[in-house]
């Protein structure tokens, strides 16, 4: 049974970076040290440059609606290297980066994920959904 425990432990640790509570862009912009506490007990801070970039990409009324970090969720059922981005505002941001049509839910592929992460390394996070 030891192997199963190790697998379960590994699966539990996969999403240790997920924040306890997400932060809105508006709240992050006014904060001195914009950061969230992760489920693994750590701190994840956002770079101010990225927050400013996001604020330029979205109209001011949407700042309250954008929850940070934006999740790039990997699901094995989608196939290797394929991920989903959920949320109207979240997909609107991603659509501007990778030049896709925005929707409520967006499927992104590995090169697109790399492009998103390159542009928004702290304001996006991976999520592994089993």
Partner 1 sequence: MATAMNVSPNRMELIKLKQRVTLAQKGHDLLKDKMDALVMELFDSLRKIQDSRIAAIGQLKKGYVALSECIAVMGTLETMQAARETRKEIQIDVSARNIMGIQVPSIDIGEVERNALSRGYGLYTTSSSLDVAAKEFEKALKLLVDLAELEATALAIAKELERTKRRVNALEYILIPRLNEALKFILMRLDEMERENFTRLKRIKAILEERE
| Chain residues in the site for partner 1 (CB under 8 A) | 3-4, 7-8, 10-11, 13-17, 33, 35, 38, 40, 42-48, 74, 76, 80-81, 110, 113-114, 117-118, 121-122, 125-126, 128, 130
Q: Give just the sign of the alpha carbon dihedral 23, 90, 62, 121.
A: positive
What percent of the chain is helix, strand and coil (3-state, nearest 5)?
45, 25, 30
Nearer to partner 1, 92 or 122 (CB): 122
Nearer to partner 1, 92 or 97 (CB): 97
Nearer to partner 1, 32 or 101 (CB): 32
- Which residues, other chains included, contact 112 with Cβ-Cβ below 8 Å and sequence gap of 6+? 98, 100
CB 21 to partner 1: min, Å: 15
CB 59 to partner 1: min, Å: 26
Nearer to partner 1, 65 or 129 (CB): 129
21 vs 67: CA distance, rounded Å? 9
Tokens encoding 45: 């801070």
Q: How far is CA 89 from the centre of its chain?
A: 12
């Amino acid at each position: 049974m030891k192997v199963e425990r190790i697998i379960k432990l590994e699966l539990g640790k996969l999403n240790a970076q997920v924040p306890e509570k997400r932060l809105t862009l508006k709240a992050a912009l006014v904060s001195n040290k914009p950061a969230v506490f992760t489920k693994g007990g750590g701190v994840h801070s956002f770079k101010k440059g990225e927050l400013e970039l996001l604020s330029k990409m979205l109209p001011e009324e949407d700042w309250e609606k954008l929850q940070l970090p934006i999740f790039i969720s990997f699901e094995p059922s989608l196939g290797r290297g394929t991920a989903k981005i959920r949320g109207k505002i979240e997909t609107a941001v991603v659509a501007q980066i990778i030049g896709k049509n925005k929707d409520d839910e967006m499927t992104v592929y590995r090169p697109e994920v790399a492009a998103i992460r390159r542009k928004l390394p702290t304001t996006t996070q991976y999520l592994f959904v089993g």
